[in-house]
Amino acid sequence: MTMRDELNTFLDGLKQQRDELKLQAHLASAELKKEWEKLEAQFGTLEQKVAQANREAGKTADNVAAAAKLAGEEIAKGYQRIRKLMKS
Mean predicted lDDT score pLDDT of the chain: 83
Q: Are the C-beta atoms of residues 10 and 71 closer than 8 Å to each other?
A: no
* Degrees to nearest 5, angle at CA 60 with 55 and 65: 70
- Average pLDDT (20-46) is 83
* Degrees to nearest 5, angle at CA 60 with 55 and 64: 75
- Specify the pTM: 0.59
For residue 46, pLDDT over 70 is answered with: yes
Q: Are the C-beta atoms of residues 85 and 38 closer than 8 Å to each other?
A: no
In the chain, the N- to C-terminal Cα span, in Å, equals: 38
Cα gap 13→19, rounded to integer Å: 10
